[in-house]
Every structure is written in structure tokens, then in C-alpha cells.
Amino acid sequence: MHTFSSLPSSHNSLSFSLSQMKLLVMEHPLRKKSILQKTPKMVLLLVLVLILFTLIPLYCPIPRPLFLWGSLSSSSPSSSNHNDIDGLPKVKLDETCDIFNGEWVRNPEAPYYTNTTCWAIHDHQNCMRYGRPDKDFMKWRWKPDGCELPIFNPAQFLELMRGKSMAFVGDSVGRNQMQSLICLLSRVKYPIDVSYTPDEKFKRWHYTDYNFTIATFWSPFLVRSKEADPNGPTLTGLFKLYLDEFDEDWTAQIDEFDYVIISAGHWFFRPSIYYEEGQVVGCNYCQVDNLTDLTKYYGYQKAFRTAFRAINGLKNFKGITILRTFAPAHFENGIWNQGGDCVRKRPFRSNETRLDGFNLELYMTQLKEFKVAQEEGSKRGLKFRLLDTTQAMLLRPDGHPSHYGHWPHENVTLYNDCVHWCLPGPIDSWNDFLLHMLKREGRIYGGNLHSSYRKLRIR
């Protein structure tokens, strides 16, 4: 399925510490806040500072600030200040906290469901069923530096989503999150199946009491694709990716959704032939003599660009697009099909590993395209948000099924699965993040944020 190199090769010179980057960034909101409270002249200064910081990403190709500053004009640090000015309720300091930067800490209360209380767990992620002996991997929660991330509250989530709809677009890791969500919500309600098709790759669930709909759209490459050869050079299929063409299986259907959670990653490791304007332009690891290997990053970047272009081009779409960032796999001592496995039993602390190599490259590629899409979308009032799971999941080598995704005698392609996540397990925290984001959306992004932002600039 994937051509991963062995992990982790922790501290090479290309790697960097996300938390170091974050420190740099997180200082500013506080500093600005104190400046702001002094004099109106200082407000002018703040505007200049804001403009300066908005320009920084253009010259400074480091990933975290790119995102933070990229969303600055519409997100937490600046908007909390505006609220102060306009005499609106003061937003807690919490709102400036980067919830995606932190550590895993013990949580004896977890898990909040089991494979007997929730039927939505996909067989290959039902690790307890296949005899996983340890349970410790379920008993952690994400603790952001400088604030708390509340544990998922199913009643609150459903209340917030009343009359709304949410689509998951992507691959089986995206589905993994949706199934976690259904299981977390199952303490309050189960949905009914209202799928339009018997195809398991396109499911729709409805929470009748809340008129809330969840749907999944299978699109592992996000763009139009075809399997050219089920085997290919690595026996994982050879795919044709039409990098500039929409995958209408989802793009034609998401207009109506209030939230679109989009993700992609591991399929881009598979050999593929790239097409643009209907012509072959190169490939990724296809091992065809006369084709240039453009690398997976090329396809990944173009695919996100096209997917976001599709969303920004939808006339009736008014929803919020959430990019769920790449969740690293954790094969060690070999690649996925050469004995690599994930046998660790504890999370890493953030000082024990770093994002590097292809994980870093894919992550940065995503953030760049996210930024482009966010700017484009803002011209017509469309919002893009990051569900930035990369750092948290980098720290969870213990959360994958490994060989507990099937019976030992079963001959499956991905024998040691270090890509997906056991349910219950660390992927449940993605929905902690999601709920937190949705709440924040309602509190500080809603209402008159835009008018207050303009007011500030005029003064």
C-alpha cells in the first residue's frame, strides 16, 4: 500500500521542532494585547504590525507560522483583540492557545465506548476483537500547551450540529475519523443509514432527533483517478491521476454541506501516472522508462490545489472547509511490506521525535495549498480551517492496529497496519479538536467579526 522508509530518523538537519516555531508565534498575541490597551496611536501600530505579519509568510517558508499568520486576519489572536475594543465580552486567553501543540497525558477515564457499545467500528480497526492484549493506548488525552482541550461531549456536539450536515472526503483514514465520531456520539444517539447507494464508500447517516447528517465520500486522491493496473510495480496498483480534473463523485455533491472535512495522504505513496490537460506529464514511482518521476509531492500538491479549486468554485456552497492534516504512519524496522511494524506501547513525548522527511514534506505541501485556498476562498467569504492533527499523531506510534486488524492466519495486504488507528484510540482526539473548533467558530468567528475588523482598520 505504501512505500514508506523506516521510521523514525529523528534528528536530522532538515527537521525542526513545531513547538519551537509555535513559541515564536504565540508570543505575539499577548504582546499585541498589551500594546493595544494603551493608546489609540498604538492601534495604528497594531494595524501595521498585522500587515507586516501578513506579509511574512511570503518570504518565510516555515510551516507553522504560515498557517497561523495565514489565518490571522480571521482567527483567534487578532479577533480577540477586536472584541476587546468593541466592548464585546472579552474572549478568554484560551482562544489564543494553539490546541494542536502539546503532549499526551494520562486519562484513566478513557475510553468512552467499546466494541460492544458501538457497532460502527470498522473490522480492521477493531483491535480488541483481534486480541490486542494491552489497553494502555486508549488511556491518554491530548493536553495542549497553555490550555485544556475538553474531552468530547456528545450531547453538546449534537446540539451544535442541529439542522446541519458534515461531509468527510478522503480515504480510509478519513472514514476512521467518521467512525470514531459515530462511536463517540453513540453515548447519546445512533444515526440511521440514509445512504443513496449500496456502495460502502459513500455512506450517509442521519441523526433524526437533531436533523444532523454525516456523509462520507471516498476519494483517496481527491482528483479524478483510475486504476490502470491492479498490480503495478509494487503490487499495490498503478493509478492514473488526472491532477487537474475534479472527482465529481464528491465535488458534484458537497454544495449542500455545512462542513466539509477533507484529507488525503497515504495513497499518494502508490505508483501513479500523472495527467494534466489529458496528457501524461510524468509519474510517481511508476518505473516506466520514458516517464519522468515527478515524485509524490508533485501529485499531492496538484491534487489539493484542484480539490480546493473545486470547492471555491461551487456556486451554492456556503460551508466551512476543514483540512485534516496528514497523520503520519509509524512503520519501524522496515517498510510496510518488508516486516516494518509498530510495536511501541507508549506515546512519544514531544521532545522524543520530530516531524521530518516525507512526513514533513507532505505536511508543508498541504499547508501551502491550504493557504492558497484560504486566500482564494476569502474573496467570496468561504472559510477554511485546519484540523491540524499531524503533531499529535506523530506522537502516537502505539495507536495503530499493527497485526491486530485481522486474524493471524489471514493473508491481508497490509499485514502490520501502522497507518490506521484502533477504535477506541488516539484518533478519538480528532473529534475533541473538531468539537472545540466548532464551538470556537460559533463564539468568535460568528456575528459581527468582519465589521469589527473593518472598524479597527479605519480608526
Ligand X SMILES: *[C@@H]1O[C@H](CO)[C@@H](O)[C@H](O)[C@H]1NC(C)=O
Give whichever of 87 and 133 is closer to ligand X, judged by the CB atom.
Answer: 133
Give whichever of 76 and 353 is closer to ligand X, judged by the CB atom.
Answer: 353
**Contact code string over 180-219 relative to ligand X, x by CB under 6 A:** -------------------------------x-x------
Specify the stretch interacting with ligand X by CB under 6 A; choose among 92-100, 349-357, 361-369, 375-383: 349-357
2, 419 Cβ separation under 8 angstroms: yes
The catalytic residue among 172, 180, 350, 402 is 172
d(CA 393, CA 446): 30
- Tell me the CA end-to-end span of the chain in Å, nearest whole number: 57
Nearby residues of 429 by Cβ (< 8 Å), 6 or more positions away:
141, 142, 149, 389, 392
Specify the stretch interacting with ligand X by CB under 6 A; choose among 17-25, 148-156, 346-354, 435-443: 346-354
165 near ligand X, judged by CB under 6 A: yes
Q: How many residues bind ligand X (CB under 6 A)?
A: 17
Can you tell me which of 136, 227, 352, 375 binds ligand X, judged by CB under 6 A?
A: 352
117 near ligand X, judged by CB under 6 A: no
State the CB neighbour count (10 A cutoff) for residue 174: 24
Give whichever of 37 and 211 is closer to ligand X, judged by the CB atom.
Answer: 211
Active site annotation includes 172: yes
Can you tell me which of 1, 128, 243, 393 binds ligand X, judged by CB under 6 A?
A: 128
Query: For residue 208, which amino acid is it?
Result: T
Q: How far is the CB of 95 from ligand X (least distance, A)?
A: 26
Q: How far is the CB of 129 from ligand X (least distance, A)?
A: 4
411 near ligand X, judged by CB under 6 A: yes
DSSP string over 90-135:
PPPGGGGS-TTSEEEEE-TT--S--TTT-S---GGG-TTTTT----
280 near ligand X, judged by CB under 6 A: yes
Pick the closest to residue 364 from 38, 63, 30, 2 (CA basis). Answer: 63
Distances (CA, A) of 448 to 88, 113, 455: 10, 39, 11
Q: How far is the CB of 282 from ligand X (least distance, A)?
A: 9
Q: What's the maximum distance between 2 C-alpha atoms anywhere in the chain? A: 73
Specify the stretch interacting with ligand X by CB under 6 A; choose among 34-42, 161-169, 215-223, 373-381: 161-169
Distances (CA, A) of 459 to 45, 87, 152, 196, 235: 11, 15, 41, 53, 63
228 near ligand X, judged by CB under 6 A: no
Nearby residues of 119 by Cβ (< 8 Å), 6 or more positions away:
190
Can you tell me which of 75, 126, 312, 321 binds ligand X, judged by CB under 6 A?
A: 126
Can you tell me which of 20, 34, 316, 351 binds ligand X, judged by CB under 6 A?
A: 351
Q: How far is the CB of 426 from ligand X (least distance, A)?
A: 18
Active site annotation includes 420: yes
The catalytic residue among 403, 406, 420, 436 is 420
The set of cell numbers assigned to 234 is 509494487
Pick the closest to residue 222 from 301, 284, 319 (CA basis). Answer: 301
- Provide the annotated active-site residues: 172, 417, 420
- Binding residues (CB under 6 A) for ligand X: these are 115-116, 126, 128-129, 163-165, 211, 213, 280, 290-291, 349, 351-352, 411
